Structure 1
Amino acid sequence: MGATYLTKPGGSSGVEWLALDVRSRAAVAEVFEGFRPEVTVNAAYRQADWASTADGAAYVALGVSRVGGRLVHVSSDAVFSGAVASYDERSVPDPITPYGAAKAAAETAVRAVVPDAVVARTSLIVGNGESVHESFVHALATGRRDGVLFTDDVRCPVHVADLAAALLEAAVRGLSGILHVAGADALSRYDLGTLIARRDGLDASRLPTGRRADTDLPGPLDVRLNCTATQQRLQTRLRGAREFLTPPDP
């Protein structure tokens, strides 16, 4: 198994770590020619960098097309504007931010170069205390950071283990096309933060709230991925945050 990195290798054992800057078409081609993977999962992105998010995805797709194998490309709910109640796998991207536009362009490139690739759109990713959102909630609840959790910014949070299992299943089974891999619950960032605080024994009443609509932050407010069709294709069950953030009974 191989994995790539930009600045430093990860800590997983049994993995061949390969230095790679996906912004370089030549570097991507060299890695593919040398490693020749049977399955490639592309999760590379930088929100403020078109070259990493869009061009890099195109170069990875070209690498797969050159040496063969399957491609699973990780996309985002940022490709949607939030103008409709929910988005299913047939929905056409209508991004309203540069990052969303880069993700949409990446989808187009991947599907054009590797028509049988999987494009897996996901949402806010939550882990076992290690995600950015969880760290932010902890910092707010303990007074280590200023800020607010928006009550009008809605997504469908997914557990990182569910996302990883779904991507692996899609690769192993040779699925193709667009998948929506998000959680079953649509929650505001404040509601999600409350669940995290309660799971971790923090005082949820200390979490400050605000409305994103009252700020000048760009981006959609309410984006809900409908995963019904995807769930019918996957054996992996995509749990809602109310389930995976509820502590088990003692």
Structure 2
Amino acid sequence: MKTILVTGSNGLLGQKITSAVLAGRQFNLIATSKGLNRFKPETGYQYESMDILDPANVRAVVEKYRPDAVIHTAALTNVDKCHEQRVLAFDLNVNAVQTLADICTEFGAQLIHLSTDFVFDGAAGPYDEEGVPNPLSYYGETKLKAEEVVQNAKCKWAIVRTIIVYGIVREKSRSNIVLWAKEALEKGEPINVVNDQWRMPTLAEDLAEGCLLIAEKEARGIYNISGDEMMSISELVAKVADFWQLDKTLIREISSASLNQAAKRPVKTGFILDKAVRDLGYRAHRFTEGLALLDSQLVQRELNN
């Protein structure tokens, strides 16, 4: 049985990978994150506190468990925060990846690195894996630089590009566009939503499955793993309102320019998924199917509280 080590295991994707393994995927799992483990239950896998900015700490953990693959989910993904805190963004999104690439090379582990549609400028979406990156934001620049680090590494590697990930974790502290829209509309709060950006939202369970398929098959190279439906952000939020029968008159469609965000966003990204379907057997949930799964998880979470 293969051993996989996951960084950022307290995050949305990290927790979904843990859940998938516990549900029966055949892996020995080493979950790592900085600080205490926020995932319950705490059995069926190993948890290690690990600071990805501390190379000695990372090396000690990898040496202890000698994983077959490292799935690197940890990153600074807040686009405007990356724009404003560039040293921190470079440390977390680039230097930490260099550390992992070096250590994976030393111990013969495959590095599976999570990247983003924001490596593209959005002028020619949807993109296949051969699309030419041209990031508009510093966040996108750091993620592209990290991709270059991985591609130049001497270990086995794969890069997973994804788009707007949604889902729930067991505690209520994490949010994403789907939960944000649902909760605001349930409270009767008007929300401003851009109508001039297009994406393919990704169910966190689908992204976790894509990562595990790569580890399972020892696939190499770049893979697009996302949802398969293109929609504007305003359409996405309208679908959320429709699913939970919420008041769509509270949704105010606005232009991206009116937000005056520090970092620029691409207009239209989206991915062509043919390679992941062919090589991995990847299948994305439809957006409404993802919302139905999320709804059942929300009900279960309420029952458990």
TM-score (norm 2): 0.75
Corresponding residue of 1:221: 267
Question: Aligned-pair distance for 1:178?
Answer: 0.3
Match of 1:43 among 73, 87, 100: 73
Question: Aligned-pair distance for 1:31?
Answer: 1.6
Corresponding residue of 1:105: 145
Q: Deviations over 1:87-110 (max 9, x none)?
A: 110112211111101100111111
Corresponding residue of 2:54: 24
Corresponding residue of 1:186: 230
Q: Deviations over 1:122-180 (max 9, x none)?
A: 00112259751122102331347664111112111111111111111111011000000
Over 3 Å counting, the alpha-carbon distance change for 1:146 and 1:26 in structure 2 is: farther
Q: For residues 155-170 of structure 1, what are the structure 2 equivalents within 5 Å?
A: 155-170=199-214
Distance 1:119 1:230 in 2: 12
Distance 1:144 1:73 in 2: 39
Match of 1:15 among 45, 53, 56: 45
Match of 1:204 among 248, 261, 272: 248
Match of 1:241 among 287, 293, 296: 287
Q: After the TM superposition, which of the residue ranges 96-105 and 231-240 deviates more from structure 2?
A: 231-240
Match of 1:63 among 84, 88, 103: 103
Over 3 Å counting, the alpha-carbon distance change for 1:245 and 1:181 in structure 2 is: same
Q: Deviations over 1:172-198 (max 9, x none)?
A: 011000000011111111111111222
Over 3 Å counting, the alpha-carbon distance change for 1:236 and 1:85 in structure 2 is: closer
Over 3 Å counting, the alpha-carbon distance change for 1:65 and 1:144 in structure 2 is: farther
Match of 1:232 among 278, 282, 299: 278
Q: For residues 121-200 of structure 1, what are the structure 2 equivalents within 5 Å?
A: 121-127=161-167, 131-143=175-187, 147-200=191-244
Q: Deviations over 1:54-107 (max 9, x none)?
A: 111111111111111222111111111112232110112211111101100111
Q: Are the counterparts in 2 of residues 10 and 17 from structure 1 also a CA contact under 8 Å?
A: no
Distance 1:229 1:145 in 2: 41
Distance 1:244 1:9 in 2: 26
Identity value in percent: 24
Q: Which has the higher helix share?
A: 2
SS of the equivalent of 1:113 reads coil
Q: For residues 80-95 of structure 1, what are the structure 2 equivalents within 5 Å?
A: 80-95=120-135
Over 3 Å counting, the alpha-carbon distance change for 1:137 and 1:37 in structure 2 is: same
Q: After the TM superposition, which of the residue ranges 129-138 and 186-195 deviates more from structure 2?
A: 129-138
Distance 1:64 1:110 in 2: 10
Distance 1:91 1:116 in 2: 22
Q: What amino acid does structure 2 have at the position aligned with 1:225?
A: F
Distance 1:234 1:201 in 2: 36
Q: Deviations over 1:227-247 (max 9, x none)?
A: 222222121212342553469
